[in-house]
Amino acid sequence: MTAPADCRVAFSAALMDVAAADPRIVAVANDSVGSSNLKDFRRRFPERLIDVGIAEQNLVGVAAGLANGGKIPFVCAAACFLTARALEQIKVDCAYSRRNVKLCGMASGMAYGELGPTHHSIEDLAWLRAIAGLTVLVPADPIETDLAVRAAAAFDGPVFLRISRMKVPAVHPDDYRFRIGRAVCLRQGSDVTLAANGTVVWRALEAARQLAAEGISARVLNFSTVQPIDREAILRAAEETGGIVAAEEHTVHGGLGSAIAEVVVGSRPVPMRLIGVPGVFAPTGSAEWLMEHFGITAAGIRAAALQLVEQRVSHGTPARTGN
């Protein structure tokens, strides 16, 4: 694994690249130029950086208006304030209006650690994936962040990009091809599936390595698109591995795990385990400490996978069915 890196660096570098290639691209900030790593963007494209101050409803409305005027706005704001404070503007001005706005939720999840639940954004996926027509992307490392920014810029429609500031190692090869709507298999396996996204993918890979040492073959899927969810990858995983652990830096209510469960329960019921924040406001602690506290770790994912495999053995259900 490479040295862990802050995805905001890849984010802003990619944004400058796409902005250099397409004059329609503008950045919109809410006094978030520093926290969104946009200082270089402002230096290079001063007339294309619009700071509306601490005003998130206006932030998203202005972005919708910029899109009306032919621009492709990238709204860069702390995920907690962007999604909660401006949810109606996201729903109506961006999604329902089908405006070509890119909403970039920075320092998402529990990245703000000790700053507490006001600054945590662990409900955003639940809120946003309930909104029709909004594409929701959660890149897992700098390489995927770079590609997701480029894909969002090229995609005609509203997109939410969930960007962390927790450092993560690279989990994708340099020649990785990112596609909106496609879950990517990072490790083949047949006994159980570990589904994750964002800052949790490398932890799922680590869990899979530990499980392999114990003779359990775990498939690792990176669901960097939460909406539209990759139904095929889910159904294949259910069919071929017989159980799914979903792990995310988000409440277990309504996020990636729920999105997967909605597919599984309707089409191919298999046991699942959901790992995330269990419907509580986090106590004080650093981001990494909180991940440990809630078991959103390789050890937590491994333990849940073992439970699923043991449960299946005790029920006599084979992992593979059919064929």
Pairing of strands 102-106, 272-277: unpaired
Token pair listed for 80: 């907690």
Options 55-63, 112-120, 176-184, 220-228: segment touching other proteins (CB under 8 A) = 55-63
Q: Which of 34, 53, 269, 283 binds other proteins (CB under 8 A)?
A: 53
Q: Which residues contact 198 (CB under 8 A, 6 or more apart)?
A: 108, 109, 138, 139, 140, 162, 164, 224, 248, 249
Q: How many residues does the chain have?
A: 323
Q: According to the binding rule CB under 8 A, does residue 25 interact with other proteins?
A: no
| Set 47, 56, 239, 240: catalytic member | 56
Token pair listed for 183: 């879950």
Q: Which of 69, 173, 266, 322 binds other proteins (CB under 8 A)?
A: 69
Options 50-58, 172-180, 209-217, 238-246: segment touching other proteins (CB under 8 A) = 50-58
Bridge partners of 159, per DSSP, are 102, 135
Q: Which of 7, 25, 36, 71 binds other proteins (CB under 8 A)?
A: 71
Asked if residue 78 lies in contact with residue 107, where contact means CB atoms within 8 angstroms, the answer is yes
Query: Amino acid identity of 169?
Result: P
Q: How many residues bind other proteins (CB under 8 A)?
A: 29
The helix (H) or strand (E) run that includes residue 162 is: strand 159-162
Q: According to the binding rule CB under 8 A, does residue 153 interact with other proteins?
A: no
The conformation of residue 164, written as its DSSP 8-state character, comes to -
Site for other proteins in 78-117 (CB under 8 A): 88-89, 92-93, 96-98
Q: According to the binding rule CB under 8 A, does residue 61 interact with other proteins?
A: yes
Q: According to the binding rule CB under 8 A, does residue 47 interact with other proteins?
A: yes
Residue 217, number of CB atoms within 10 A of its CB: 16
Q: Which of 18, 63, 166, 237 binds other proteins (CB under 8 A)?
A: 63
User: Nearer Cβ to other proteins, position 56 or 123?
Assistant: 56
| Residue bearing tokens 């089409």 | 267
User: Nearer Cβ to other proteins, position 127 or 223?
Assistant: 127
249 an active-site residue? no
Asked if residue 272 lies in contact with residue 264, where contact means CB atoms within 8 angstroms, the answer is yes
User: Nearer Cβ to other proteins, position 134 or 287?
Assistant: 134
Q: According to the binding rule CB under 8 A, does residue 48 interact with other proteins?
A: yes
- Distance spanning both ends of the chain, measured CA to CA: 37
Residues annotated as part of the active site: 56
Task: Name the site residues for other proteins (rule: CB under 8 A).
Answer: 26, 47-48, 50, 52-53, 55, 57-58, 60-71, 73, 88-89, 92-93, 96-98
